[in-house]
Amino acid sequence: MKKARKNLTNIPAHLFLAVAAALLAFPVYMAFIGSTHDAATIGRGRMPLTPGAYLGQNYVQAWAYGTGERVSGTPVRVMMVNSLTMALAIALGKIFMSVLAAYAVVFFRFPLRNFFFWLIFITLMLPLEVRIIPSYKVASDLKLVNTFLGLTLPMMVSATGTLLFRQVFLSMPKELLEAAKIDGAGPLRCLWSIVLPLSKPSLAALFVVMFVYGWNQYLWPLLITTTRQMDTVAIGLVRMLGTSESLMDWNLVMAATIMTMAVPVSVVILLQRWLVKGLVEIGK
Amino acid sequence: MNKRLDIWAVGVVVAVLALGFVGLSQQKIEIQFWYALTGDLGKATVELVDKFNASQDKYFINAIYKGSYADTMTAAIAAYRAGEAPHIVQIFEVGTGTMLAAGPAIYPVHQLMADTKTPFDPTAYIAPVKGYYSFPDGRMAAMPFNSSTAVLWYNKSAFRQAGLDPDNPPRTWAEVRAAAKKIVDAGAAKIGLSCSWLTWTQFEQFAAIHDIPFATKSNGFEGMDAVLALDHPLFVRHVQTLMDMQKEGSFTYGGRDSQPDALFPAGEAAMLIASSALRARILREAQFEWGVTYLPYYDDFIAAPKNSIIGGAALWVMRRPDATAAHYQGVAAFFAFISTPENAAWWHMRTGYIPLTFAAYEVAKAEGYYQTNPGADIPTLQLARPNPTKNTQGLRLGNLPSIRVVIYEEVEKALAGQQTAKDALANSVKRGNALLREFESLYK
Amino acid sequence: MIRREAVFSNKLLPYLLVAPQLILTGVFFLWPAVQALQQSVMKSDPFGIRTRFVGWENFKALFADPFYLGSIRLSFLFAGAVAFLAMSLALFLAVQANRQLRGSQIYKTLLIWPYALAPAVSAVLWVFLFQPSIGVVSRALQGLGIPWDYHLHGGQALLLVILASVARQISYNFIFFLAGLQAVPKTLIEAAMIDGASSRRVFWSVVFPLLTPTTFFLIVMNTVYAFFDTFGVIDALTKGGPGKATETLCYKVYLDGFRNFRINSSAAQSVVLMAVVILLTAFQFKFLQRRVHYEGGG
Residue A166 lies in a domain: yes
pLDDT in tens, A229-241: 777 877 777 666 6
* Segments making up each domain of chain C, as ranges: 77-297
Chain A partners of B277 at a C-beta cutoff of 8 Å?
A: 245-246
For residue A71, the tally of other CB atoms under 10 A from its CB is: 21
User: How far is the C-alpha of C283 from the C-alpha of C285, rounded, in Å?
Assistant: 5
Q: How open is the CA angle B140-B145-B149, to the nearest 5 degrees? A: 100
pLDDT digits over B110-163, tens only? Answer: 999 999 999 999 889 988 888 899 887 889 999 999 999 999 999 999 999 999
pLDDT value of residue A201: 82
Which among C49, C133, C244 has the least Cβ separation from residue B105? C49
| pLDDT score of C297 | 31
Q: Is B125 helix (H, G, I), strand (E, B) or coil?
A: strand
Kindly state whether residue A222 falls inside one of the protein's structural domains: yes
Q: What is the ipTM of this complex?
A: 0.77
CA gap B269, B285 in Å, rounded: 14
Distance from CA of C154 to the nearest CA of A (A): 24
**DSSP of A179-233, one letter per residue?**
HHHHTT--HHHHIIIIIHHHTHHHHHHHHHHHHHHHHT--HHHHHH--SGGG--H
Query: 3-state SS of chain B: helix, strand, coil percent to 5?
Result: 55, 15, 30
Residue C64 to chain A, least CA–CA distance (Å): 23
Q: Which residues in chain A have their CB less than 8 angstroms from residue B268's CB?
A: 45
- Between chains, do C121 and A153 touch, taking CB under 8 Å as contact? no
pLDDT tens for each residue of C238-291: 888 788 889 998 888 888 887 788 888 888 988 888 788 777 767 766 665 555
pLDDT of residue C69: 92
CATH number assigned to the domain comprising residue A95? 1.10.3720.10
Q: Return the domain boundaries, chain B.
A: 26-147+311-366, 150-308+391-442
Tell me if A14 is assigned to some domain. Answer: no
What tens digit of pLDDT does each residue of B70-120 get? Answer: 888 988 988 898 888 999 999 998 899 889 888 899 999 999 999 999 999
- Render B7-37 in DSSP notation, one character per residue: HHHHHHHHHHHHHHHHHHHHSPEEEEEEE--
The structural domain count of chain A equals 1
CB contact under 8 A, B284 and A40: yes
Q: Can you name the CATH fold of B150-308+391-442?
A: D-Maltodextrin-Binding Protein; domain 2 (3.40.190)
C-chain CB neighbours of B80 within 8 Å are 47-48
Q: Looking at residue B270, what is its pLDDT?
A: 96
Question: pTM to 2 decimals?
Answer: 0.81
What is the residue-level pLDDT of chain A in tens, covering all 284 positions? Answer: 445 555 667 788 888 888 988 888 887 888 888 888 887 777 666 667 788 888 888 888 777 765 444 444 566 677 788 889 999 999 999 999 999 999 998 888 888 888 888 888 777 666 676 677 778 778 888 888 888 898 898 888 777 788 888 878 887 887 888 888 888 888 888 888 888 888 888 888 888 888 988 888 877 887 787 776 777 877 777 666 654 445 566 777 778 778 878 888 888 888 888 887 776 665 44
- Are B281 and A70 an interchain contact pair (Cβ–Cβ within 8 Å)? no
- Let me know if residue A16 belongs to a domain: no
Query: B205 vs C52, which has greater pLDDT?
Result: B205
Candidates A43, A71, A136; nearest CB to B265 = A43
Which residues make beta-bridge pairs with B314?
Answer: B91, B144
Interface test with C, best of A15, A17, A164, A207 (most C CBs within 10 A): A17
Q: What CATH architecture does domain B26-147+311-366 belong to?
A: 3-Layer(aba) Sandwich (3.40)
Residue A108 φ then ψ, to 5°:
-125, 155
Closest CA to B369 of B386, B383, B385, B355: B355
What does the alpha-carbon distance between residue B39 and residue A34 come to, in Å, rounded to a whole number?
A: 17
CA distance B102 to chain C (A): 7
First CA to last CA distance, chain A: 37
Chain B positions touching A240 (Cβ under 8 A) are: 38-39
- Residues spanned by the domain of A90: 26-283
- Please compute, for residue A233, the number of CA atoms within 13 A of its CA located in the half-sphere on the CB side: 28
Contacts of C among chains (3+ CB pairs under 8 A): A, B
pLDDT band at B1 (very low <50, low <70, confident <90, very high): very low
Q: Which residues of A touch C181 (CB under 8 A)?
A: 283
Name all chains with 3 or more CB-CB pairs below 8 Å to chain B.
A, C
Q: How far is A35 from chain B (nearest CA, A)?
A: 16
Q: Using CB atoms and an 8 Å cut-off, which of residues 82-101 of chain C contact chain A?
A: 89, 92-93, 96-97, 99, 101
CB contact under 8 A, B102 and C45: yes
Size of interface B-C (CB pairs under 8 A): 95
Fold topology of C77-297:
MetI-like fold (1.10.3720)
Contacts of B66 in chain A (CB under 8 A): 222
- What pLDDT shows up at residue C293? 38
Instruction: With CA atoms as reference, report the closest residue to C242 among B423, B163, B416, B386.
Output: B416
Q: Which residues of C touch B253 (CB under 8 A)?
A: 151-152
Contact A28 C125 (CB under 8 A): yes
d(C-alpha B67, C-alpha B65), whole Å: 6
pLDDT tens, position by position, B28-38: 899 999 998 87
